[in-house]
Amino acid sequence: MHEMSLTEGVVRILEEQAATHGFTKVKTVWLEIGELSQVDPESMLFCFSAIAKGSAVAADAVLEIVTIPGQAYCLDCARTVTLPRRGEACPICGGWGLQVTGGGDMRIKELEVE
């Protein structure tokens, strides 16, 4: 489960940002997870509740997941398409020449802090 190490990274970033910007507590974390990122949002929620408890900065934080739709550019029909999963054909022309252009990342979008 790579979500555990990803969550550890998120909490480490929260702690680093607290030290840099002088806040003492994170109340809410908005985490964008792309549909094509191969990160399971439910697993992230579970892992965050376990990992954050060990952090003075994030112990009581709430994790909010924002899902970003997958997008790809089809080289066959020259269109940008919505793609719910990797490894699927273009929903417009059925071609396989797809280049992911969005929804493949995970990032901290916003923090509510004290």
Model pLDDT for residues 7-20, shown as the tens digit of each residue? 999 999 999 999 99
pTM: 0.87
Residue numbering of the annotated binding site for Zn(2+)? 74, 77, 90, 93
- 32 lies in some domain: yes
The domain that holds 50 is classified in CATH as 3.30.2320.50
Known binding residues for Ni(2+) are 2
Q: Which domain holds residue 46?
A: 3-69+103-113
Q: What is the pLDDT of residues 31-75, one digit of tens each?
A: 999 999 999 999 999 999 999 999 999 999 999 999 999 999 999
Annotated binding-site residue numbers? 2, 74, 77, 90, 93
For residue 10, tell me if it sits in a domain.
yes
| Nearest-angstrom CA–CA distance, 67 and 83 | 13
Q: Give yes or no for residue 27 having a pLDDT over 70.
A: yes
The answer to whether residue 82 is domain-embedded is no
Please say if the pLDDT value at position 1 is more than 80. no
- 89 in a structural domain: no
Q: How many domains, the chain?
A: 1
Angstrom CA distances, 76 to 82, 86, 93, stand at: 15, 17, 8
